[in-house]
Amino acid sequence: MFHIILFGPPGSGKGTQSEKLIAEYGLIHLSTGNLLRSEIANKTALGLEAKSVMDKGQLVPDEVVIGMISSQLDAHADAKGFLFDGFPRTVAQAEALDKLLKLKNSGIGVFLALDVSEEELVKRLLGRGLTSGRSDDTDEAVIRARITEYNAKTTAVADYYKQFDKVVNVPGEGSIDDIYASLKTQIDARMH
């Protein structure tokens, strides 16, 4: 099994690149943002709790997202590998993920971090808000709060994986195809 973490701030293109990567490598896409939005759409208790936090641009509690990921790993026990998108977002989530993968005699193959400037992020997210129907993309204050939350809690996740020599930074500005080609080069260099 080969597992990839696609890392980067909100609006860095993780969702777009994930779609291409899972098609190419036959991985299972685990996006905690998508999983949470589907809980919200299904009006579950978890979804109702998560929505109020997400609409403020804050992070959902660790135990909630770790629980979701744990059941997804079990649900796809025969997967070739997983692409983690938007997870882990805190060091506690990263430690929990390592434990879950270790139980399966597995671990992260590569941690790919997309680098995008803050002004470009805000521009992209406001643009996405015009069509995505995502309430957290329409309000610039919420977008800025998500970036603040990212800087406060999530950037430390990259430092955590640096100790295992897993981190590769990839420029996240430019054409979608060029960014994808850079990601693919890094994956292919480590997969075999």
The CA distances from residue 57 to 52, 131, 139, 142, 166, in Å, are 9, 19, 10, 5, 28
Catalytic residue among 51, 89, 124, 166: 89
58 annotated ligand binder? yes
Spatial CB neighbours of 76, under 8 Å, sequence gap ≥ 6: 28, 82
Angle between helices 32-41 and 45-54 (to 10 degrees): 120
The CB-of-117 to ligand ADP minimum distance in angstroms stands at 16
Residue placing its CB nearer to ligand ADP in the complex, 115 or 188: 115
Residue 146 annotated in active site: yes
Closest CB to ligand ADP: residue number: 33
Question: Collapsing DSSP states into helix, strand and coil, what is residue 88?
Answer: coil
The CA distances from residue 48 to 34, 90, 107, 146, 165, in Å, are 15, 22, 32, 19, 38
What does DSSP assign to residue 29?
A: E
The CB-of-87 to ligand ADP minimum distance in angstroms stands at 4
60 annotated ligand binder? yes
Q: Which parts of 55-167 fold into alpha helices (H)?
A: 62-75, 91-103, 118-132, 140-149, 155-162
Residue placing its CB nearer to ligand ADP in the complex, 111 or 136: 136
Contacts with ligand ADP by CB under 6 A lie at: 10-11, 32-33, 36, 53-54, 57-60, 65, 86-87, 89, 93, 136, 146
Residue 144 annotated in active site: no
Strands 3-7 vs 167-171: parallel, antiparallel or unpaired: unpaired
Catalytic residue among 20, 128, 144, 153: 128
The CB-of-188 to ligand ADP minimum distance in angstroms stands at 25
Residue 134 annotated in active site: yes
Binding site listing: 11-16, 32, 37, 58-60, 86-89, 93, 128, 134, 146, 174
Annotated binding site for AMP: 32, 37, 58-60, 86-89, 93, 134, 146
Please identify every residue annotated as catalytic. Answer: 14, 89, 128, 134, 146
Binding region for ATP: 11-16, 128, 174
